[in-house]
Amino acid sequence: MTDDETHGEPSGKPSGKPGGKPNGKPSGKPSGKPSGKPNGKPNGKPDDRLARLGGDLQARGRLLCGELADPHTVLGLHAVEGRWVVRVYHPHAVRAEALQGAQAYPLERVTGGLFAGEVPGAEAYRVRLHFSDGSAWEREDPYRFLPTLGELDLHLFAEGRHRRLWEALGARPCTQDGVAGVAFAVWAPGVRRVSVVGDFCDWDGRQLPMRALGSSGVWELFVPWVEPGAHYKFELFSQAREIVLKADPLARAAEAPPNTASRVVRSEYEWGDGAYLAARAERDPRRAPLSVYEVHLGSWLRVPEEGDRVLSYRELAPALIAHAQRFGFTHLELLPIAEHPFTGSWGYQVSGYYAPTARHGEPDDLRYFVDQCHQAGIGVILDWVPAHFPKDDFSLGRFTGECLYEHPDPRRGYHPDWDTLIFDLGRPEVRCFLLANALYWLEEFHFDALRVDAVASMLYLDYSREPGGWIPNQHGGNENLEAVSFFRELNRWVPEECPGCFTVAEESTAWPEVTKDVAEGGLGFTFKWNMGWMHDTLEVFRMDPIYRQYHLGKLTFSMVYEYSERFVMPLSHDEVVHMKGSLWRKMPGDDWQRLANLRLLLSYMFTRPGKQLLFMGTELAPDAEWNHDKSLDWHLWDADPARAAFARFLEQLGAVYHAHPSLWEADHEPRGFAWIDCDDAEHTVISYRRIGGDEQLVVVLNLTPVPRSGFRVGLPLPGPYGVLFDSDAADFGGSGGATEQAITASEQPWKNQPCSAAVDLPPLGALILQPPPREPEALDSDDMIAVVD
pLDDT digits (tens, 9 = 90+) for 152-167: 999 999 999 999 999 9
CA distance 121 to 359: 51
- At 71, the pLDDT band (50, 70, 90 cuts) reads very high
pLDDT digits (tens, 9 = 90+) for 505-539: 999 999 999 999 999 999 999 999 999 999 999 99
Mode of pairing for the β-strands spanning 93-100 and 765-770: unpaired
The DSSP secondary structure of 80-135, one letter per residue, reads ETTEEEEEEE-TTEEEEEEEETTEEEEEEEEETTEEEEEESSSB--EEEEEETTS-
Q: What is the structure's pLDDT at 7?
A: 45
Are 552 and 561 within 8 A, CB to CB? no
Mode of pairing for the β-strands spanning 331-334 and 379-384: parallel
CA distance 562 to 669: 9
The active-site residue out of 202, 333, 453, 665 is: 453
C-alpha distances in Å from residue 334, one per residue of 8, 314, 357, 362, 613: 51, 15, 12, 16, 12
**Model's pTM, two decimal places?**
0.91
When the pLDDT of each residue in the chain is averaged and rounded to a whole number, the result is 92
Q: What angle do CA 429, 434, 437 make, to 5 degrees?
A: 120
- Using only C-alpha atoms, the chain has a radius of gyration, in whole angstroms, of 32
Residue 274, CA atoms < 13 Å, CB-side half-sphere: 3
Q: What is the structure's pLDDT at 49?
A: 76
Q: What is the structure's pLDDT at 782?
A: 44
Question: 766 - beta bridge partners?
Answer: 701
Answer with the residue of higher pLDDT: 303 or 789: 303
For the chain, give percent helix, strand, coil, nearest 5. Answer: 30, 25, 45
C-alpha distances in Å from residue 238, one per residue of 28, 152, 191, 397, 494: 19, 27, 5, 14, 36
pLDDT (mean) for 367-393 = 98
Helix H or strand E encompassing 302: strand 302-303
Cis amide prior to 258 (ω within 30 degrees): yes
Q: What is the structure's pLDDT at 474?
A: 95
pLDDT (mean) for 458-472 = 95
Helix H or strand E encompassing 450: strand 449-452
Q: What is the structure's pLDDT at 578?
A: 87
Contacts with 156 (C-beta within 8 Å, 6 or more apart), sequence order: 162, 163, 432
Judged by DSSP in three states, 187 sits in strand
Q: What is the structure's pLDDT at 255?
A: 97
Judged by DSSP in three states, 411 sits in helix
Are 160 and 432 within 8 A, CB to CB? yes
Is residue 506 part of the annotated active site? The answer reads yes
Helix H or strand E encompassing 680: strand 673-680
Count of beta carbons in the 10 Å neighbourhood of residue 710: 9
Predicted confidence (pLDDT) at residue 39 exceeds the cutoff of 60: no
The active-site residue out of 140, 448, 506, 575 is: 506
Is residue 453 part of the annotated active site? The answer reads yes
Distance of CA 570 to the CA centre of its chain: 18
Are 221 and 210 within 8 A, CB to CB? yes
**Residue 147 per-residue DSSP state:** P
pLDDT digits (tens, 9 = 90+) for 331-354: 999 999 999 999 999 999 999 999
Q: What is the structure's pLDDT at 612?
A: 98
Predicted confidence (pLDDT) at residue 774 exceeds the cutoff of 70: no
Residue at 480: amino acid letter: N
Predicted confidence (pLDDT) at residue 476 exceeds the cutoff of 50: yes
Exposed / middle / buried, residue 690 (Cβ in 10 Å: 0-12, 13-18, 19+): buried
Residue at 669: amino acid letter: E
Predicted confidence (pLDDT) at residue 35 exceeds the cutoff of 70: no
Q: What is the structure's pLDDT at 773?
A: 79
Helix H or strand E encompassing 674: strand 673-680
**Residue 216 per-residue DSSP state:** S
Helix H or strand E encompassing 639: helix 636-639
pLDDT digits (tens, 9 = 90+) for 79-99: 998 899 999 999 999 999 999
Question: 757 - beta bridge partners?
Answer: 713
Distance of CA 344 to the CA centre of its chain: 17
Exposed / middle / buried, residue 419 (Cβ in 10 Å: 0-12, 13-18, 19+): exposed
Exposed / middle / buried, residue 258 (Cβ in 10 Å: 0-12, 13-18, 19+): exposed
Q: What is the structure's pLDDT at 47?
A: 63
Are 598 and 583 within 8 A, CB to CB? yes
pLDDT digits (tens, 9 = 90+) for 244-301: 999 999 999 999 999 999 999 999 999 999 999 999 999 999 999 999 999 999 999 9
Length of the chain: 789
Distance of CA 728 to the CA centre of its chain: 39
Question: 502 - beta bridge partners?
Answer: 449
Q: What is the structure's pLDDT at 787?
A: 36
The DSSP secondary structure of 555-622, one letter per residue, reads HHGGGGTGGGS-EEEEE-GGGGSTT---HHHHS-SSHHHHHHHHHHHHHHHHHSSSEEEEETTGGG--
Residue of 582, 606, 607 lying closest to 595 (CA atoms): 582
CA distance 528 to 569: 9
